[in-house]
Structure 1
Amino acid sequence: MADQSKARKFGAPVWLVTFADLMALLLAMFVLMLSFSDINSDSFKRNAGPMAEAFNQNQPIIIKPVNIAPKETSPKKDSERSQSSQNQDRSSSNLGYLQTVARNRLANLVKATIAAELANKLVELLIEGNKITMRFPAQSAFRSGEASLSPPIIPTMDRIADILARTEGIITVTGHTDNSPISTARFRSNWELSTSRSVSVVHRLLRHRGLAAPRVSATGRADTKPIVPNTSRENQQRNRRIEIVVELPEGAAAR
């Protein structure tokens, strides 16, 4: 029996060689296209973020170091601050003490100088904070409907002026009336009457040469600041008054 076996063929099929050539040509074409293209860097950066997130590529997190070292304090500076605060408190306390001393000294001078008037209730002495008020009922200082000082009160005013010249502070003289209307040839209303009365007191006080005029002022409040409601004659009589208020400054001292 004759052996007529076919000769075996080795190597790749013929079509595969052609396919490989085609792939090589395509690759070369893409490389050329890429080399001639211009990549927009801004567009690439804008799209890179969303693309990275889509592929779960988290951006690195930069952690800045925090200085947690305790702040250095200087015992010397703390001591200086504490000493400064203590000095301020001590200075404020000293000023308040001097003011209280001056106020009490002035009050004692007034009490000693016009003791008779205080006893007869011709003058009322009020002390509040750094203010001392000498309150004169209108009937003890003026005639009804008049703004000139009554002769009996003039020596009292002169003694008070002598006391005021020996101390410091702002002096305010204020006139007050009740709510009874007034209309005369000289005073159209209680405003004119109360103001004129306070001016009369100021003129008398300034006759003392030791009392500086810039310290003194006069004002009239008519019936706008009653002590008690104007519901009776007795209350109206209390509201008709003249007040001399001395406001002592910090560190003031009577001379």
Structure 2
Amino acid sequence: MARKHKKHEEHENHERWLVSYADFITLLFAFFVVMYATSEANEGKQKQFEESIKLNLHLAAAKADAAGRGSILEEAMAELEAPVSGFPRKGGPKEVEDYVERSLDKSMNGEQKQKSIQDVYHDSVGVRIALAASTFFPAGSAKLKMSALNSLDKVAEVLKSHQKRVIIEGHTDDLPIEDSYFPSNWELAGGRATAVVRYFVKYHKIDPKRFLAISYGDQKPIVPNDNEEHRAMNRRIEIFIITDDKKVEI
């Protein structure tokens, strides 16, 4: 009589969840590797990519121009090149302000910018770079400090990147000055504004026809002259880049 074999019962595998868990961990690891790789900036590859885009746009614009369809591509190309190549060819004061901020951030370290640049802002006519006068001039003097020339060179590079007209404004606090050379704050503010213009023209060869030097003395404070901190804020040189010539006559 044939012996019957007992069938062994199959035990349920309670550890199958480990396979899914391992797959999940692997995918999560891969995700973070990709995120890390994409977050690492490679300036060389970025520059190569930008040049490649510009070259292809030039070729496309040339082909489109031959077919009588070049204007739209040329405008698109100009918009792309503006933030890459330098001073905005199009756009208003806000775009110019952004360019100035980027340029100064790139050329100055944090401490240098904080010490030299009081503010950068725009209005409907143009962009203003406010310099802290105490950094650039000794008290009661219109002679530029040697230690401040490097900062002024960085600002000059911004002005050399375009052909816009520029107004240099001199401002003081309301403390009276008693000096044989500067009888009042009017002369002191005007002397400082002129010194900045002269430096840009003489040492950076910027066209003098682009400049106008103005003295406001203590007549245009940005804060009340009620303490030393506020008076220091009012002692400033404002470099006013005119973005709309129709609104300002120089």
- Is the shorter-chain TM-score for this pair beyond 0.5, marking a shared fold? yes
Per chain length, whose mean CA-contact separation is higher, i.e. which structure has more relative contact order (CA < 8 Å, sep 6+)? Answer: 1
Structure of higher CA gyration radius: 1
Letter in 2 for 1:122: S
**Is residue 135 from structure 1 mapped to residue 130 from structure 2 by the alignment?**
yes
2:196 paired residue number: 201
For structure 2, the residue ranges without an aligned partner over 5 or more in a row are 1-78, 80-87, 246-250
Inter-partner Cα distance in structure 2 for 1:144 and 1:241:
12
Task: Pick one of 210, 227, 234 that aligns with 1:215.
Answer: 210
1:124 paired residue number: 118
Post-superposition CA distance 1:190-246 (Å, at most 9, x none): 000000000001011112455211111111111000011111222112111111111
For structure 1, the residue ranges without an aligned partner over 5 or more in a row are 1-93, 251-255
Q: 1:247 to 1:117 in 2, by over 3 A?
A: farther
Q: Is the 8 A contact 2:97 2:122 kept in 1?
A: no
Report how many residues are paired.
158
Q: What does 1:163-178 correspond to in 2, within 5 Å? A: 163-178=158-173
**Is residue 112 from structure 1 mapped to residue 112 from structure 2 by the alignment?**
no
Q: 1:106 to 1:137 in 2, by over 3 A?
A: closer
Q: 1:212 to 1:179 in 2, by over 3 A?
A: same
Query: Among the aligned pairs, what percent are the same residue?
Result: 26
Q: 1:109 to 1:179 in 2, by over 3 A?
A: same
**Is residue 225 from structure 1 mapped to residue 220 from structure 2 by the alignment?**
yes
**Is residue 179 from structure 1 mapped to residue 170 from structure 2 by the alignment?**
no
Inter-partner Cα distance in structure 1 for 2:115 and 2:204:
28
Q: Is the 8 A contact 1:161 1:206 kept in 2?
A: no
**Is residue 150 from structure 1 mapped to residue 145 from structure 2 by the alignment?**
yes
1:22 paired residue number: none
Inter-partner Cα distance in structure 2 for 1:165 and 1:147:
24
Question: Whose helix proportion is higher, 1 or 2?
Answer: 2
Q: 1:119 to 1:195 in 2, by over 3 A?
A: closer
1:234 paired residue number: 229
What's the Cα RMSD here? Answer: 2.6
Inter-partner Cα distance in structure 2 for 1:234 and 1:209:
33
